[in-house]
Chains A and B, each alone.
Chain A
């Protein structure tokens, strides 16, 4: 296309302003038609001089006369030069893509906003938000904005590239030649300015006061071009006179952003906080405790919990439940330690009947309460140990004290108290109205329950140590008074030797169980084929077993309530074939048998009444109190007469072990009084079963072969087995075993290593480790 001369396009026609759309069409058409120099007389039209790509590589010059509108030269191409001969409105050079735009006057807000290439020369001031959001595309030269005067507020906001030069002409006295808050969010490019600028966003830009040679050189060179373009070349010398007038703002790169300069808290605390409040801060004057931070896992006094080895602080359940108070667990321990003889001997310190009672006749409350039951495991078999104690050796008695005690009754209770008092050195006399010692053991308990030689052996062992045994010695009030005068103390252990009678017609036709058993024992009892026993307790069961032994074909036991019998007696009776009926109420005993209130008649050749026995207290002086036929005693078995004690069935019906235990307690009370001691016998509390760990034992044992197997399987509740589990489980290796000078040992936890985790407590098989809260610090 042929190049043409300049063309004039006017923004007004017939005194009417041409619409921006029409003016744009005309300018574009002129370029398309080959015009390369266009003079536009503008009347505020939008976007004049932009987008003139139709000229291809040809230069296009647009002169703008009149009033240019907004966005002069917007989206300008590199081939374009726009020259406005007057001021420009908002957003001159908006999104400029390469045009050179010269404004001979001020430009309002938004000059060069979003400019990416090209140059915008302003011969005057610019309004707010000039050079904002500009960029530098590396494919092209950076864009430039040159301002002869000064810039308005918020200059170069979000500027991301390009170069701005603000000459500050006429603003030499201004404090802020770049206006209020320039460069906020500026991330790229640079700004040269001449004059003062008090505030700029230090977060985003850094100020270079002494221009480097290279920058100064570029500025001088390009300042000439700018001044030439705006026709003020003559001012070059003046503007460039002092290099020191010029400063440079450079966008900080992300890693150059200054860290906000604040006093660290640590320093603040030390220099300000404590300076104002005093050492130790808010409460430094109120506490002397160390308040420095600590970790979560602490030792020593900072532990929350402290373990302690509480060996023997609690009774094992076996011992706690033995009325005699035999340290059963201790005996197993001795066996574990290979001290079998000591284990059996130990029993004699507590009972004269370790074999007879523990081995045969006792229901073994110790084992009924064995911890092992907690996990349905068989308790260890103390009867084995009892039987093994037949040949235990009696401890040597203490030296004679010369004190005298008379014991009335040579049964289990009487022999127990006599045995104990003798061991303590006192002189004991037994007064027994029957012809032999042993009471019910020898008189009434069926021979099937215990070999007679065992009883004989143990009674002989007792008899050997007690010098004064008066058998067949009937007692009455007068003789009782005499005994009282002759002795320091009297212990009534007369038992319950009078069978209770039933208040029904025909009672005289029946045997009492006690009489029946005594006769049976002496070999002179007889029974018919059909036997009915009224009263189905353990004595009734014994009678039933004996009746079968003596030839009965059927034995029926009746009771008014569910029979109270249990243990070996019940089992033996059931095994022999006895039947139990309840509730049954006896109306009469007839020649045919037992007539019940229901009208039923239980046919019987022999009727035995087993409804309990009462003590025979005919010898007792009136001043000694009784209650319902039994002697009244306190917790130490003293009667209302302080010189007289009473124990066993004379006080209340009970097991053999109850009688033996009562003998122990009465004896030690009397001994204390005689020796002027006032010892207290606080019974230790029983251990909490759940502290004992049964998981260490074989749960499948049904029957124990021997005492050593029992000893091994005893959980040793509350008594250290010295197994070393705690030493090993402790994660801190804080626990150690320490031998004691006097023998024995303790386990201790080193507080400087211990963290209070409680593993020792959790792992201890015997439950002797305890964990307690640490002492409060203040």
Chain B
């Protein structure tokens, strides 16, 4: 038998873990809430024996032993049950008796999470709070040089165009000849990026859709949301709300036969079709919806049997070159809606993005290009893919925009940028920086999860268990016991709050530039950074 204290290489103490549970015996009432709510069962009731010596003064009599037993909250140390730092215990503790605290050094758990040779997989983000976008300032304050505007008082048209915009002479010709005019949508520049039904819980997904439709219909903000890859509930397909939705198609094509069946029943065209080739957070890594997330509901929406693994491969199976891949997909998807819906590809930011862009400029049906940078979040990926794969968005977007400028098409093919903007909470500033670097619109997912649903993730490897269906906030869980913790209506309300305040902040940034009628897309003379190399690379002002 294994005696106490026997060492295995992966035997860890609480000290070795990334998160340590601080528990106060004085304050604890042993109510059981913390252990009931902990998503990974990192804590449990423990039994402890206390020993004290009773020593009579003057040593007149023999000393004696006094034993007592108390119960308390213990932290488990095996990797499968290591605390993830979500802090749900703190949330439910009536007495403030328990809190996870991050270790002050590099944890030892990371060297042992690969038991049985399984490399770590997780959800979340890169866990790096470093952000170039946060360092960009808006240095052009047009007090006297342009009509100065007041963000709070003046009227703004914060809208962008999604779709191929023909040059004027071409537009006139097409119009004269009654030719085909590429579809263009006028939308709000902050787009909710693709998060699938399945990766997100039903409550979260519905909450976002509800919020988007409310923003459109009650707030007059033409906000759009991408479905992510995982299909779309038939009811939404058949409703007028479809016009607020960008349908995403990706390498797994999940749910697309259901979408096709619903084509004849659609009242409205969708806003656009997004063809996902890559995800910034995990370029080159595919998606995998684990079997335990594929319950009856998910199975119905994705058009698959229940309880099976659903892999979205890293690549589309039948596409072998840019020319073929992009042209083939854009043609097919345009055809499905009679060439009335803008169709654009979404790629991970990559050093090869210019090749894709050049190809798109020559494709009359391409409605734009979405580039997703490395700082985005994901529901599930290999740790190494998330941390070490990918390209920052700023320089990739900038290169793309300047490429368009070089060939004179910067006003024709919109670029959408995403991937980690707002990661430290500066959503509007980061978005404005991307827009001024050349993005026509920006796509965010992670910020929305945090702000609209209270995602507990941080850039310090907190929680990050989106991949195992145990999201303690019910954001990424298909288990109704967790999903129902989230109220779709409150998610929608928070989404509305986010967009209204974003709108104010974006105005606060663009108003001093003197812009009120159009977004300052590519207005890089307004940008400055106190980093000479970054300034040179991005072709923006170097300011100190």
Contacts and interface: CB of A to CB of B under 8 A. Distances in A.
B263 to A, nearest CB: 18
Contacts of B36: 297, 303-305, 755-758
Interface in A282-301: 282-287, 289-298
A262 B219 contact: yes
A305 B39 CA distance: 11
Contact of A282 (B41, B155, B235, B482): B235
A698 B67 contact: yes
B4 A287 contact: no
B32 interface: yes
A762 B47 contact: yes
Interface in A666-697: 689, 693, 695-696
A277 B235 contact: yes
Contact of A777 (B44, B155, B481, B487): B481
B489 interface: yes
A304 B41 CA distance: 11
Contacts of B295: 776, 778
Residue among B36, B91, B155, B239 having the largest count of chain A Cβ atoms under 10 Å? B36
Interface string B1-14: 11110000000000
B48 A695 contact: yes
Contacts of B37: 296-297
Contacts of A755: 32-33, 36
B48 A296 contact: no
A763 B297 contact: no
B172 interface: no
B161 to A, nearest CB: 27
B297 A287 contact: yes
A296 B47 contact: no
A778 B484 CA distance: 14
Interface in A573-615: none
Contacts of A374: 1-4
Contacts of A763: 45, 47, 71
Contact of B44 (A262, A756, A761, A776): A761
A373 B206 contact: no
Interface string B130-147: 000000000000000000
A298 B481 CA distance: 9
B247 interface: no
Nearest to A696: B69
A759 B32 CA distance: 7
Interface string B177-221: 000000000000000000000000011011001110110011100
Given A291-B484, A296-B485, A695-B69, A286 B301 contact: yes
B300 interface: yes
A34 B521 CA distance: 63
A757 B1 contact: no
Interface string B294-325: 01110011000000000000000000000000
Interface residues of A, number: 67
A762 B484 contact: no
Nearest to B36: A757
A757 B49 contact: no
A212 to B, nearest CB: 30
Contacts of B301: 283, 286
Nearest to B234: A285
A551 interface: no
A266 interface: yes
B297 A281 contact: no
B45 A729 contact: yes
Nearest to B92: A296
A729 B32 CA distance: 10
Contacts of B67: 698
A283 B493 contact: no
Residue among A317, A757, A776 having the largest count of chain B Cβ atoms under 10 Å? A757
Interface string A91-131: 00000000000000000000000000000000000000000
A265 B210 CA distance: 9
A376 B218 contact: no
Contacts of B153: 157, 184-185
B71 A291 contact: no
Nearest to A369: B1
B31 interface: yes
A268 B218 contact: yes
Contacts of A298: 481
A286 B92 CA distance: 33
B4 A283 contact: no
Given A276-B240, A284-B235, A776-B479, A262 B1 contact: no
Interface in B465-483: 479-483
Interface in A163-186: 181, 184-185
B35 interface: yes
Nearest to B37: A296
Interface string B480-512: 111111111100110010000000000000000
A29 to B, nearest CB: 35
B46 interface: yes
Interface in B121-170: 152-153, 155
Contacts of B489: 265-266, 269
A273 interface: yes
B44 A758 contact: yes
A759 B496 CA distance: 41
Given A265-B496, A761-B44, A774 B481 contact: yes
A731 interface: yes
A1 interface: no
A268 B214 contact: yes
Interface in A246-296: 262-263, 265-266, 268-269, 272-273, 276-278, 281-287, 289-296
B185 to A, nearest CB: 20
A317 B45 contact: no
B32 A294 contact: no
B45 A283 contact: no
Contact of A373 (B3, B69, B234): B3
A765 B47 CA distance: 9
A683 to B, nearest CB: 18
B47 A696 contact: yes
B71 A293 contact: no
Contacts of B92: 296-297
Given A286-B233, A700-B65, A758 B47 contact: no
A729 B88 CA distance: 22
B514 to A, nearest CB: 17
Residue among B47, B482, B485, B487 having the largest count of chain A Cβ atoms under 10 Å? B47
Interface in A391-448: none
A642 to B, nearest CB: 38
Given A273-B210, A283-B233, A755-B36, A293 B239 contact: no
B3 A758 contact: no
Contact of B481 (A277, A304, A757): A304
Interface in A718-732: 729-732
Interface string A351-387: 0000000000000000011000111100000000000
A292 B210 contact: no
21 contacts: A157-B153, A262-B219, A293-B484, A294-B481, A294-B485, A295-B485, A296-B33, A304-B482, A305-B41, A374-B1, A374-B3, A693-B47, A698-B67, A700-B65, A755-B33, A759-B32, A762-B35, A777-B479, A777-B481, A778-B295, A778-B480
Interface of B: 1-4, 30-33, 35-37, 41, 44-49, 65, 67, 69, 71, 74, 88, 91-92, 152-153, 155, 202-203, 205-206, 209-211, 213-214, 217-219, 233-236, 239-241, 295-297, 300-301, 479-489, 492-493, 496
Ranked 8 nearest A-B pairs via Cβ: A762-B45, A757-B32, A757-B36, A293-B487, A731-B32, A695-B49, A695-B47, A294-B484
Given A262-B219, A263-B218, A304-B482, 19 more contacts: A265-B496, A272-B213, A282-B209, A282-B235, A286-B296, A291-B203, A293-B486, A294-B485, A298-B481, A303-B481, A304-B479, A376-B3, A689-B1, A695-B69, A696-B49, A698-B67, A763-B71, A776-B295, A778-B480
